[in-house]
Amino acid sequence: MNGWAMTLFRRDISLSVRIGGSALVGVLFFLAVVTVIPFGVGPDLNLLARIGPAILWIGALLATLLGLDRLFQADREDGTLDLMLMAGRPLEVVVLVKCLAHWVATGLPLVVAAPLLGIFLNLDPVSMAAVTATLLVGTPALTLIGAIGASLTVSLRRGGLLLAVLVIPLAIPVMIFGVSSADAAIHDPMPFMTPFLILCALTLISAVIGPVASAIALRFAGD
Amino acid sequence: MAFWDYANPTRFLKLVETVLPWLTGLCVIVFAVGLYLGFFVAPEDYQQGATVRIMFIHVPAAWLCMMCYSIMALSSLGTLVWKHPLADVSAKSAAPIGAAFTFMALVTGSLWGKPMWGTYWVWDARLTSVLVLFIMYLGLMTLWRTMDDPIKAGKAAAVLTLVGALNLPIIKFSVDWWNTLHQPASVMRMDGPSIDSSMLWPLFVMAIAFTLLFFVIHLMAMRNEILRRRVRALRMRAASAAHPGTAAATAQPAE
Amino acid sequence: MDLGPHAGFIIASYVLCAITVLGLIAWVRLDQAAQERALKELADRGIGRARTGQDSKS
């Protein structure tokens, strides 16, 4: 990785884990969502084991969406975004690096927390591993797709809810293949690898579309 | 006159004035013919009975909610690539119409599904895709409403429209896949009955009528949008004339 | 014309579609009236498009 990209990456990481950053709030939110769902559907352990992967995925989706509105907004408020736009570096790469840093700070903790939360949901070890693997592959896609929404709503003062509305339809494919490959690992004639590989493909596609589209949007928001 | 000449909003408005009465008249006539064919000429389907008549509005509405999104995607390309001044006007005024047609397709589909499938809603691939499309239309409309600068809003919405256009086939594919996985054991037929030609005609005429209706409303909405931007520009100019120096920086070009 | 046992569904779908279409048309017409009123108001205040050359020059 180039020097400037590494610097940007380190800067974003340290901004999000220090005081004022919101990296760990995402995990807390994830825990809260997963905790509240058994109160809604009842404490039946068989049911929870069946819908457990879906619960974890929905929790991860919501937690990712929650943190996304600050992806570019803080940089815009203090003027860093304008400097990045003027710096002459390819903005697509800047967006990609920022997404990567954001994912390491907020997405990766979700992946790490998922097996622990799986215990609450009565998941067996195989499905726990499957859910963790799909989250590991799938949450970057959520961040990258969400970057589009974050850059579109960057100039709005209260863009968080609108961001979620704009991003959720685009995140449906990731959701579908994430949950189905996790399900396929447990109890299906379906092989695990088919949906899992499609999920990987979706992540790669969004690694292209996300940075390009949000770089375009950021340039328009900047001028 | 070349296509590019209509980039001028004033000339476009003149064109709308001449075309609109004819288009409206034609639309009314085709609607009358289509409804007549649908209700008095077309026979009842031997399986669906009279409920097949819902198809005469459901299918055109479903076809138009796709066409409307295609027009919006083309307009977004026009905004981003060619910077055509009318492109984002077209995209913005198409979104509510598309949402309305999608709503119609969903409602008539449910009302057809209740007597035919026994339920108002199934999480079938096609229905789910249209529901997602509906959410996307509403999201785009909201994005337009929340940004007060029409130029910036147009560009943001254009990016989102194009990303959505890339994503819609993926969504369709994944919902199809998901649906085969969760195929419910119900009585619904996925393929649908093959359509007799006596029913194809009213369907065809109604599709033309809906398309004409779309273009009539779209042209009217585009005219409104041009007028709205004119009002906005005039107000800005008035404000900057009243307080020179302060408001001049934010004034936008007229259209 | 006999709509069969499901007449209610057929009528409901046609009525709802008609309402939606009429709603669209009403939205367009009301919007048009509002914009034209605003333009007229501006013109009355002397801010109108007196210099018509401004828009047809491009």
Chains with at least 3 CB pairs less than 8 angstroms from chain C: B
Average pLDDT over residues B219-224: 92
pLDDT for the residue A7: 86
How far is the CA of A145 from the CAs of A51, A154, A212, B31, B70, in angstroms? 25, 15, 11, 42, 21
Phi, psi of A2 (to 5 degrees): -65, 160
- Tell me which of B201 and B63 has the higher pLDDT: B63
Phi, psi of B49 (to 5 degrees): 65, -145
C46: left (phi over 0), alpha (psi -120 to 50) or beta: left
Please write the tens of the pLDDT for every residue from B91-138: 999 999 999 999 999 998 888 888 877 788 888 777 888 899 999 999
Please write the tens of the pLDDT for every residue from B146-196: 887 888 888 889 999 999 998 888 888 888 877 776 655 444 444 444 556
Other C-beta atoms within 10 Å of B200: how many? Answer: 11
Note whether B7 contacts A: Cβ–Cβ < 8 A.
no
Other C-beta atoms within 10 Å of C15: how many? Answer: 10
Name chain B contacts of C56, Cβ cutoff 8 Å. Answer: 8, 10-11
The label of the residue with tokens 């380190």 reads A10
Note whether B220 contacts C: Cβ–Cβ < 8 A.
yes
pLDDT for the residue B137: 93
- Tell me which of C4 and A155 has the higher pLDDT: A155
pLDDT for the residue B73: 93
Q: What is the value of ipTM here, to two decimals?
A: 0.86
Closest partner residue to C24 among B9, B39, B217, by Cβ?
A: B217
pLDDT at A187 over 80: no
Burial class (CB in 10 A: 0-12, 13-18, 19+), B40: exposed
Other C-beta atoms within 10 Å of B133: how many? Answer: 26
- 3-class SS at A63? helix
What ranges do the domains of chain B cover? Answer: 40-180+199-250
pLDDT for the residue C55: 45
Name chain C contacts of B107, Cβ cutoff 8 Å. Answer: 13, 16-17, 20
Determine whether the interchain pair B111/C36 forms a contact, defined as Cβ–Cβ distance below 8 Å: no
Please write the tens of the pLDDT for every residue from B17-45: 888 899 999 999 998 888 888 877 777 76
Determine whether the interchain pair A169/B142 forms a contact, defined as Cβ–Cβ distance below 8 Å: no
Q: Which residues 227-246 of chain B have a CB within 8 Å of chain C? A: 227-228, 230-231, 234-235, 237-238
**Mutate which of B231, B232, B235, B237 to test chain C, going by most C C-beta atoms within 10 A?**
B231
Our count of domains for chain A comes to: 1
pLDDT at B254 over 50: no
Whether B104 and B57 have beta carbons less than 8 Å apart is answered as: yes
**How are the residues of chain B apportioned to helix, strand and coil, as percentages rounded to the nearest 5?**
80, 0, 20
Closest partner residue to B100 among C20, C38, C56, by Cβ?
A: C20
Determine whether the interchain pair B159/A152 forms a contact, defined as Cβ–Cβ distance below 8 Å: yes
Among candidate residues B203, B217, B221, the one with its CA nearest the CA of residue B24? B217
Please write the tens of the pLDDT for every residue from A34-62: 889 888 888 888 888 888 888 999 999 99
Distance of CA B149 to the CA centre of its chain: 23
Return the ∠ at Cα A61 (arms to A57 and A63), rounded to 5°: 115
Distance of CA B104 to the CA centre of its chain: 11
Which of the 8 DSSP states describes residue B229? H
- pTM to 2 decimals? 0.86
pLDDT for the residue B212: 93
Residue of B nearest to C38 (CA): B231
Residue of B nearest to A210 (CA): B163
**How are the residues of chain C apportioned to helix, strand and coil, as percentages rounded to the nearest 5?**
75, 0, 25
Other C-beta atoms within 10 Å of A189: how many? Answer: 5
Please write the tens of the pLDDT for every residue from A86-143: 888 888 999 999 999 999 988 898 999 999 888 888 888 888 888 999 999 999 999 9
CA distance B96 to B173: 26
Name chain B contacts of C7, Cβ cutoff 8 Å. Answer: 50
Mean pLDDT in chain C? Answer: 78
- 3-class SS at B221? helix
Name chain B contacts of C4, Cβ cutoff 8 Å. Answer: 44, 49-51
How far is the CA of A156 from the CAs of A149, B29, B145, B149, B249, in angstroms? 11, 46, 11, 11, 20
pLDDT at B253 over 80: no
Whether A151 and A176 have beta carbons less than 8 Å apart is answered as: no
Chain C residues with CB within 8 Å of chain B CB: 1-7, 9-10, 12-14, 16-17, 20-21, 23-25, 27-29, 31-32, 35-36, 38-39, 42, 45, 47-49, 54-56, 58
Closest partner residue to B57 among C14, C23, C48, by Cβ?
A: C14
Mean pLDDT in chain B? Answer: 81
Note whether B115 contacts C: Cβ–Cβ < 8 A.
yes
pLDDT for the residue B48: 66
| Range(s) of the domain holding residue A134 | 3-222
pLDDT confidence band for B1 (50 / 70 / 90): very low
Among candidate residues B97, B161, B175, the one with its CA nearest the CA of residue B130? B175
pLDDT for the residue C51: 47
Whether B172 and B125 have beta carbons less than 8 Å apart is answered as: yes
How far is the CA of A67 from the CAs of A3, A74, A107, in angstroms? 27, 12, 10
